[in-house]
A and B are shown apart, each in its own frame.
Chain A
Amino acid sequence: MKEKSVRRRISFDRLFKALVIALSCIIVLPMFFILYFIVSKGISVINWGFLVSLPKPMGEAGGGISNALVGTTMLIVTASIISIPFGILIGIYLSEYKRGKFPYFSRLSLEILQGIPSIVIGIIAYVWIVVPMGSFSALSGGIALAIMMLPVIVMSTEETLKLIPDTLREASLALGVPYPRTILKVVLPAGLSGIVTGIILGIARIAGETAPLLFTAFGSPFMSTNIFKPVSSLPLLVFNYATSPYPEWHALAWGACFVLIVFILFLNLLAKVVTRRWKVQF
C-alpha cells in the first residue's frame, strides 16, 4: 500500500471522529437550550400564590394552577391503584413461567401495548368508561393512564425477578416455606428496588401524558375532587393555555411546564437513588 493512501486513511479516521463528536454535541445542545428556555420562562411565574390559587378568567393577571395539581395527583393515584398490583402480578407470572404459549403471548401483548399511541388509549378509555357513564371523569383518565403505566411496571418487575438467583428460591423452598410465601416474602422483597424503580418510572411516564386525557379527564377550570367529574391536570393545562392566544395564559402555561419538569426530574432522580440504595447484592 502506498504511503499517501495511509496518510489519507488516518486523516479520514480523524475527520470521522470529529464528525461523530460534533454531531453528538449538536444534539445535546438543544436539550440544554430547551431546559433553559422553560426554566427562564417558568421560574418568574412561580410563587406561593401560583401553586395554591385557581386560574383566573382571561384578561386578569395572576391566577394559579392548584386545580391542575390536585387533578394530576388524583389521576396518578387512580392509575397507580389500578396498575401497580396488576403489573406486579403479571410481572411475577412472566418471570415464573418463561416457556409456553401463554407467557409468550402475554409478553407480546404487553410489548404491543407499550407501543400503542397514547391517543388510541384515550379513545379506548372514552369508549369503555366515558360513554357508559355519560360524562368525562377523573376515573376514565386514571384508567387510560393505568393502561399506559401497566407495561412499564410489568417489564421492570419481570426483569428484576429474572435476575434473582434460583438458589434464593430453592433455599426458601428447602426450608419448607410454601411456594406462594416464597414468592411473596423472599423473591419479591429481594427484587423490591427494581420494582419500586419501575413504579417510579411508570409514574414519570404518565405524569406528562396529555393525549389520553383529552377526551377522558377533559380538563376543568374549577377545583374538583370528585372522581366522577372532569378534572384538570398539569399537561392538559399546558396544552389548553399554550394554544390560546393570550399572553397571560402563556405565562401560566410556562409555570406549569416548569412544575411538571421539576416533578419528572425529581422522579427520575428518585428512581436512581432507589436503585442504588436498596439494591440487594447477590
Chain B
Amino acid sequence: MSARDTILGRIRARRAGHDPDAVAERLRAHPAGPMPARAGGTAAEIRERFVAMAEKAGARVEALASTAALPELVARLCAEQGWDPEVAVAPDGALTRLDWATAGVYTEVREAAADDRICISRALCGVAETGTAVLRSGPESPVTLGFLPEWHVVSLAAEDLVGGYEDAWARVRAAGAMPRTVNWITGPSRSADIEQTIQIGAHGPRGLVIALY
C-alpha cells in the first residue's frame, strides 16, 4: 500500500467527524471568525489605524498627494541614504508610467538583483488591524523586490486600505486565482535570535517605506 493510502486509511479509521457535508460546506462558505473591533471603522479611522500600526511595526509611512509624487519621494530617500538614485521598479503600469526622469531617478523595470539598494512595488491593499501591506505576486509584481534590497518602497492607494485580513482576502479573491505568493509585510526585517535583543535588518530589507497616496 502506498504511503498516501496508509496515512489516509489510518486517519479515516480514527477521525471524529461524521457530517458528510461539513468539509464541502466550510470550503464553499469560508466563514470569517470573530472580527476584532480594530478591523472595523470608517475610512478615516481605518487610515489612521493603518498608519499607526505600520509605524509601530517600524515602517515609515509617507503620505503623498498623489502617486505622481512617488519619484520625488524616492529621490529624497536615495539622497538621505547617500545612494545613487538608481532603483528597480516592478513592471506595473501604475509605477512605470510615472515621471522618474524629471525627479532624477534612474529606473530599471525588473525583478530584484543581489545588490539593489531600493526596490519599488505596489500593494494590492493594506490591512489596518496590524498595519500590513498585502502584495500579490505576478508578472507585474516580482516577489524578490520585497526581500533582496536594502530598502523596499511599497506604493499603496488609500482607497485600497481595508480593516481586517478577511477584507484583504476578499480583494485577493476578486483579483482572480491565487497567485504564486500572497505576501503580508508588516514592518522591516528583524531578528531577536541574539540574546532576545531585537535588531532591525536581518535578511530582508532594513527599511520599509509605505508611500500612501
**B and A form one assembly:** no
